[in-house]
């Protein structure tokens, strides 16, 4: 399941556009955050953190992933934990 969520996420944001740090998470909606983490609106804090950790293992820059995608995951987690 995580790989399909990650694949959709990567496909949605794939392209040649260059992104700045602020573009990765500014003004992220709750709906976008839920999509990125593959969660439903009723997700608990524990579910949010678990989804974040599982996806971050796949995209972390120190593991050869993208800083942009890691920032998107950070922004998604932060957005959902603030609601």
What are the backbone angles phi and psi of residue 66, rounded to the nearest 5°?
-100, 135
pTM of the model: 0.72
What are the backbone angles phi and psi of residue 51, rounded to the nearest 5°?
-60, -45
pLDDT for the residue 70: 94
* Spatial distance between the Cα atoms of 37 and 56, rounded to a whole number of angstroms: 10
Contact status, residue 30 vs residue 80, Cβ threshold 8 Å? yes
Please report, for the chain, the start and end positions of each structural domain, with discontinuous segments joined by +. 2-12+31-81
Range with the poorest average pLDDT among 6-10, 38-42, 43-47, 61-65: 6-10
Tokens matching residue 51: 């989804």
pLDDT for the residue 46: 98
- pLDDT digits over 51-75, tens only? 999 999 999 999 899 999 999 999 9
- pLDDT digits over 16-39, tens only? 344 444 455 568 999 999 999 999
When the candidates are 1.10.287.110, 3.40.718.10, 1.10.8.60, 2.40.50.140, the CATH number that belongs to 2-12+31-81 is 1.10.287.110
């Amino acid at each position: 399941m995580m790989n399909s969520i990650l694949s959709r996420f990567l496909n949605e944001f794939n392209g040649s556009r260059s992104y700045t740090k602020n573009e990765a998470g500014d003004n992220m909606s709750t709906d976008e955050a839920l999509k990125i983490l593959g969660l439903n609106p009723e997700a608990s804090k524990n579910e949010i953190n678990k989804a974040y950790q599982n996806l971050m293992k796949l995209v972390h820059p120190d593991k050869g992933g993208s800083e942009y995608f890691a920032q998107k995951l950070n922004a998604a987690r932060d957005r959902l934990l603030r609601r």
